[in-house]
A = this chain, B = another copy of it.
Amino acid sequence: MNFRCDVRPGDEQHVRRMVASSGFFRLDEIPVAVELVEEALRKGAASGYSFVFAEEEGRPLGYACFGLIPCTLSSFDLYWIVVEQECRGRGIGRDLMMRVEEAVRESGGRRVYIETSTRDQYAPTRHFYERCGYAKVAELPDFYADGDGKAVFCRQLD
C-alpha cells in the first residue's frame, strides 16, 4: 500500500469510482466529491482542499479530503473519507485517518471535525470514528432529509 498527498489529473475518475463503489453515498453526492478534486487540480493549495490517496499498484483504493475550515484558525474538516467496498476491513480507513491527522498537525491544526448521517446505515461509520478517537459533539435532526440527521464528530489533537 502506497500513500500520496498530491492530486493528479485522472483522480476525478478514481474518486467517482471509489465514492460510487463504497455504497455509502447518494448519487447526488458523487459530483460534490468530484468537484473538490477538480477545484484542487485547478487552484492547488488555494482551493483549501488537501488529499491523501491510498494506492496499490498505482490504483487508488481509498482517499480522504480535508481542509482548514474557512474563518477558523485551527479547525479542520474531514470532508470525505472513502474506501472501496471490496477493500474494506484491511485498515485502509484507519491509515488514511492517521495521515490526515498528521498533516493537520503539521499545518498547525488543533482539531478535526467530521460530519455524517445519523441513519442506521451509517452506524459502522460512526463506530469507526469513535474507534479513531472522535466524540460526537452535536446532532442536528432532519438535517440531510426527513429522518436523516447530521452527527458532528470531533477529535482534539494534542
- CB neighbors of B among A11-44 (8 A): 26, 28-29, 32
Chain A residues touching B, range: 20 to 34
Closest to A137 in B: B140
A142→B72 CA distance, assembly (Å): 9
The 0/1 profile, CB within 8 Å of B marked 1, for residues 119-158 of chain A is 0000000000000000001111011111000001010000
Report yes or no: A152 in contact with B140, Cβ–Cβ below 8 A. Answer: yes
Contact of A75 among B28, B75, B144, B152 (CB under 8 A): B144
Interface residue ranges, A against B (CB under 8 Å): 26, 28-29, 32, 69-75, 110-111, 113, 137-140, 142-146, 152, 154
